[in-house]
Amino acid sequence: MSESATGDQGGTTGGAGRAAPGPGDGTRAVRAGLPEAVKYEPTLPGPVFAAHFHLPGDPTGPYTYGRDENPTWTLLERAIGELEAPGRDDAETLVFASGMAATSAVLFSQLRAGDVCVLPSDGYQALPLVRAQLETYGIEVRTAPTGGDAQLDALDGAKLLWIETPSNPGLDVCDIRRLSEAAHARGALVAVDNTLATPLGQRPLELGADFAVASGTKQLTGHGDILLGYVVGRDPGAMAAVRRWRKIVGAIPGPMEAWLAHRSIATLQMRVDRQCATALTVAEALRARPEVSDLRYPGLPEDPSHKIAAQQMRRFGCVVSFTLPSRARADRFLEALRLVDDATSFGGVRSTAERRGRWGGDAVPEGFVRLSVGAEDPDDLVADLLRALDASTG
């Protein structure tokens, strides 16, 4: 099965390709979603800019109005579907204007007044805002932490379980298969936020989830220049409701963004393998530093997340988190970095880091730093990080 771990190398091998029959991840990424070759046509057709399409007669067919469908989305949706749910004919993919558009589409299309929803208490920072909105509609929201599968204890009577693993920014991991089985036994649907892992790191549908949801803004597209989201689901009725929600809200990606995303997916395997391998190297270098505490990276064998991560992930992500002794120390460290931009978000080819406490939403210490490892040469990056740590004393 594809969820079998490839070992502790942080995904630097092509092991993921061995785990499932058929082509390896690099091959699948470069070809994902491409149409049949047509003489004199480009390999990846350019973005189709259209608010409406020629439509004589009855309004049927795939392309009618630009808020409902667009050929550039269709190709991107195929590409994402091939990576999230390879070989599954029952899976459907929908792209959105952002990760939050995709998240809201699932939650607000599946839940109604009186329903119970279980969210992580340590997930993406917009979830508390979503929670408040759900509650105004009469939906009961329960929360529990990601680590230790604590959401299990909140499932009785639930309609939907929302999982974020690895969690952002704490990098805790929960057992998707175990939680999905428990949720399904109680009649609840399961959605997994797969943003941090990317479909090359983890495939939630194969682990039993009903929806894989993600922000394509992060590593999926990887250049820090577009916002995108997607939902992949295997229940036709549930996906029809998600599609209806996209149409009602109009949370659609522009054709240019969709095309850039598809173009970026061609390099996904190269970026993810490079960034995951460097993240492990960086984590090992930081581990040796006395001023660094609570270092977290699911790919480190001694990390509390590693055991379950190794069971269900094929690559461990590009985010490393750690705590410096004080807010001032963290600020001086970030200021001293030359190859790492002080910026939010993660997953891009250029490394970024931030003192997460500056936003106020996450329950993290003042000196907590979330580092997103980019595609720089590992030696250069490690040298920059260690130099900035030295420079931040005092």
Ligand X SMILES: *Cc1c(COP(=O)(O)O)cnc(C)c1O
Per-residue tokens: 113: 């007044």
* One residue of 72, 93, 98, 180 binding ligand X per CB under 6 A: 98
- Report the C-alpha gap between 320 and 68 in whole angstroms: 39
CB half-sphere exposure, 278, CA atoms < 13 A: 26
Q: CB of residue 216 vs ligand X: minimum separation in angstroms?
A: 7
Is position 168 an interface residue for ligand X (rule: CB under 6 A)?
yes
Does the protein bind ligand X through residue 195 (CB under 6 A)?
A: yes
Tell me how far apart the terminal alpha carbons of the chain are, to the nearest angstrom: 52
215 near ligand X, rule: CB under 6 A? yes
Angle between helices 99-110 and 127-136 (to 10 degrees): 30
Measuring CA to CA, how many Å separate 298 from each of 10, 172, 323, 324? 9, 8, 16, 19
Using DSSP, state whether 31 is helix, strand or coil: helix
Told to check if 142 binds ligand X by CB under 6 A, we report no
Nearest to 46 by CA among 265, 267, 268, 263: 263
Name the segment binding ligand X (CB under 6 A); options: 45-53, 94-102, 256-264, 329-337.
94-102
Whole-angstrom Cα distance, residue 314 to residue 155? 28
Does 170 sit near ligand X (CB under 6 A)?
A: no
Query: Which of 6, 198 has the CB closer to ligand X?
Result: 198
Distance of closest approach, residue 94 Cβ to ligand X, in angstroms:
15
Q: How far is the CB of 297 from ligand X (least distance, A)?
A: 16
Residues 204, 168: Cα–Cα separation, whole Å: 17
Cβ 257 vs Cβ 48: under 8 Å: no
Tell me whether residue 84 or residue 382 sits nearer to ligand X (CB atom): 84
In the complex, least distance from residue 370 CB atom to ligand X, rounded to whole angstroms: 10
Give me the least distance between CB of 147 and ligand X, in Å please.
16
d(CA 348, CA 221): 8
Choose which of 124, 230, 245, 316 interacts with ligand X (CB under 6 A): 124
Site membership for ligand X, residue 367 (CB under 6 A): no
381 binds ligand X (CB under 6 A): no
Shortest separation between residue 99's beta carbon and ligand X, angstroms? 2
The backbone torsions φ and ψ at residue 62, rounded to the nearest 5 degrees and listed phi first, read -70, -30
- Check residue 217 for interaction with ligand X (CB under 6 A): yes
If the CB atoms of residues 98 and 278 are measured against ligand X, the closer one turns out to be 98
Question: How far is 333 from 340, CA to CA, in rounded Å?
Answer: 10
82 contacts ligand X (rule: CB under 6 A): no
* Spatial contact of 194 and 213, defined as CB atoms under 8 Å apart: yes
What are the DSSP E strand ranges found in 339-392?
341-342, 352-355, 368-372
Question: How near is the Cβ of 168 to ligand X at its closest, in Å?
Answer: 4
The window from 75-83, 95-103, 238-246, 376-384 that contacts ligand X (CB under 6 A) reads 95-103
Could you say whether residue 99 binds ligand X (CB under 6 A)?
Answer: yes
- Residue 231 or 389: which CB sits closer to ligand X? 231
Of the candidates 158, 166, 164, 204, the one whose C-alpha atom is nearest the C-alpha of residue 185 is: 158
104 binds ligand X (CB under 6 A): no
- Residues lying near ligand X in the complex (CB under 6 A): 98-100, 103, 124, 164, 168, 193, 195-196, 215, 217-218, 227, 229
